[in-house]
Amino acid sequence: MKTKLYFLLLLSSAVFAQKSKLVYSGNLLMDSKINIQNINNINSGQNANISKGNRKSPLLAGVLSFAIPGAGSFYNKQYLKTAVYLGVEAAAITVGLIYDKKGDDQTAFFENYANQHWDVKRYARWTLANADKINPNIDPSQYGVFDNNGNVNWNELNRLEGDIGSWYSHRLARFGEQQYFEMIGKYSQFNVGWDEFGDDETKPYVFGDPLTNEFIYYSKQRGKANDFYDVAKWAVIGIVVNHFVSALESAWSAHQINKNLKTSVTIEKIKIGYFVEHYPRLNISFRF
């Protein structure tokens, strides 16, 4: 019996020696302890969970969606969200481009209308002729509003406007500037420059008198252009918001995926005497 046991021990020792390259002494008691210790080492080292699986990087998901809305959702394999964010982005860009173009076209229209029907010389002549009527302290001869060629001296016109005061609340911006086109259809002091007011410098006009139809029409057309630009502005805001929302949502979704889905591989073992068989086992758990 002792001879058989020694034979089995040597056989098992030979097997483990091939796997673990253990060195045996030839003593039955000592070699048995070595084998038992080796099996314990295998047991303790092979049963740990090996982290695997479908973990997502919240940072990467957020960066992807901030660059291209929906890209982070695609990375998270949330394809419906990808379509939604891309759809919102495409719609906002389309609306922004369309209404910005409409605003440009409308701006060109009302500026052309102003160039045809509002005249700075008419405005300057009437202002100079009636300055002392509006403000008795004004001496019109002290203002060189027109040069020798009959052109408007803008600095002198602005000085006169400032000195008149009263309902002359603004100084006309230079021709062609954005403020120029805004003022002539916004403040009633510029009503006298429209064709409908006429070239009669003796024609009285005071603050509160009815505005010309051209002034009113022009003001509406300019307001229409501003409305188009407002829509384009909100479209741009929508694009920016879509980028941020998509980025935050994608990062959060990646975090939730990591939290709810746990995938691991364990090594299952079956011990038969001195022999241990190992089997891989895939574990998937989903937390609702």
At 3, the pLDDT band (50, 70, 90 cuts) reads very low
Distance CA 225, CA 103 (A): 5
Residue 24 has pLDDT above 70, yes or no: no
DSSP 194-209: BGGG-S-TT----TTS
pTM metric for this prediction: 0.68
- Tell me, what's the pLDDT at 274? 54
CA pair distance 193, 157, nearest whole angstrom: 14
18: confidence class by pLDDT, cuts 50, 70, 90 = very low
Determine contact, residues 195/117, Cβ cutoff 8 Å.
yes
CB contact burial 228-264 (16+ within 10 A = b; e otherwise): bbeebeebeebbeebbeebbbbbbebbeebeeeebee
Quick one: pLDDT at residue 266? 56
> What pLDDT is attached to residue 48?
42
Write down the pLDDT at residue 92.
Answer: 96
pLDDT in tens, 218-238: 999 999 999 999 999 999 999
Higher-scoring residue by pLDDT: 285, 216: 216
Average pLDDT over residues 73-83: 92
CA gap 159, 171 in Å, rounded:
8
Q: Residue 281 is inside which H or E element, if any?
A: strand 275-286
C-alpha distances in angstroms, 253 versus 66, 89, 154, 243, 268?
A: 14, 20, 62, 15, 33
Output the pLDDT for position 37: 58
> Structure tokens of 237?
């805001």
**107-161 per-position pLDDT tens digit:** 999 999 999 999 999 999 999 999 999 999 999 999 999 999 999 999 999 999 9
Contacts of 209 (CB under 8 A, 6+ apart): 188, 191
Q: How far apart are CA 35 and CA 58, in angstroms?
A: 47
Q: Look at residue 45 in the predicted model and tell me its pLDDT.
A: 45
Do 269 and 41 touch, CB atoms closer than 8 A?
A: no
pLDDT for residue 16? 39
Least reliable range by pLDDT among 16-25, 27-36, 63-72, 104-113 = 16-25
Q: Is the pLDDT of residue 241 over 80?
A: yes
pLDDT class of 259 with cuts at 50, 70, 90:
confident
